Amino acid sequence: MVDDRTPEEMTLGSLPYGEWIEEALRDVVRRALTHASEYGLPDEHHFYVTFRTDADGVAIPSYLRALHPAEMTIVLQHQFWNLGVGDEGFAVSLKFRGKQERLEIPFAAITQFADPSVNFGLQLKLMAASVAGRVPGAKQTGGEAREDKKEGEEVMTAAEDDGAQVIALDTFRKK
């Protein structure tokens, strides 16, 4: 994200540490997804990515947007394909209702990222900047569907029989 303040505004105000931290956290997400696109997911690693479906640059099928008009969580574990990561976002193919669908998600739209296998999670602020353009694809990545669920996971779509799960991340929050 580019700091679009004038030099005068920069010297008059405080340093934008909050923005810099958000950028750094989104870079962690980008690096994790890039690693997964290049090498796959090692051991039990898997990602929960929560994003605003109504954010600029998000491209998902209309029926998914109707089911999740504000926010959606996807799971990248065994059954995902063509994970492509760019500077501004990522694209991935997942199965919903027995059909492979392409999702394009700008990093600016991501509100949460977690890898429960190592108890890692990030909560991000929705970035105001809109993201234009498409995210380039990458090599195919994938595997078999995970059909088991941890106790307490709330499934928000009927696609789990295809291995695709959309869940609430409240499961992983400390109570």
More confident: 39 or 167:
39
pTM (2 d.p.): 0.68
pLDDT band at 2, cuts 50/70/90?
Answer: low
Q: Are strands 71-76 and 99-106 parallel, antiparallel or unpaired?
A: unpaired
Amino acid at 174: K
Q: What's residue 14's pLDDT?
A: 86
Domains in the chain, start-ordered, CATH in brackets? 7-172 (2.30.30.220)
Cβ atoms of residues 125 and 52 within 8 Å: no
**Could you read off the pLDDT of 101-124 as tens digits, one per residue?**
999 999 999 999 999 999 999 999
* Alpha-helical runs (H) found in the chain: 7-12, 17-39, 62-67
Q: Is the pLDDT of residue 63 over 70?
A: yes
Give the mean pLDDT of the chain.
77
Give 3's DSSP letter: -
- 123-148 per-position pLDDT tens digit: 998 765 433 343 444 333 333 333 33
